[in-house]
Amino acid sequence: MKLQTAHPSGWALFEAQAHHDERGWLAETFRLEALRAHAGGEVQIVQQNVSTSRRGVLRGLHYQVERPQGKLLQVMHGRVHDVIVDLRRASPHFGRCFAFELRAEALQLLWVPPEFAHGFLALEDATVLYSLTQPRIASAERAIRWNSPELGIDWPLEGRQPVLSGRDAAAPSFGDADI
């Protein structure tokens, strides 16, 4: 996995290097040394999750207040509009949103540092793999409303309403969130 783009706030976009031949291809999608070179020497993956979403499903913006999770994300199938928000109050990027279009065929991996909120809109049916630096703690999970006016996220909804979970629909705005 090769570093493609990095930002001073800590996020990074990696690209898996594919090796093609007549049988198909093989790609190295994770190398701990490459992640640690960017994110810090102590980063360790402790849990993996996979989600599937139909086109139009919007998940997020999610984060964990206790033992914040760093996330390495890869779209395994489909295409998503991915958004992360810096929640570190001392950061010069606090409250800033970063958006990416991640596609399975691009073999990209997005590193989301701890203390960032994360969400995505499935632009087509999608499967997303999450590699996490901390285990899930249900009591520490929080969410920020996807259309929080303070964030001004430009979701490519094309005039449709997103499909939301009850939790995401009821999430507080950025200004009222437990950060």
Identify whether the C-beta of residue 9 lies closer than 8 Å to the C-beta of residue 98: yes
User: Which residues are catalytic, by number?
Assistant: 62, 130
CA-nearest of 54, 26, 40, 37 to 127 is 54
Omega before 102 within 30 of 0, i.e. cis: no
Identify whether the C-beta of residue 120 lies closer than 8 Å to the C-beta of residue 82: yes
Sorted by sequence, the CB contacts under 8 Å of residue 143 that are 6+ apart come out as 60, 61, 62, 63, 117, 167, 168, 171, 172, 177
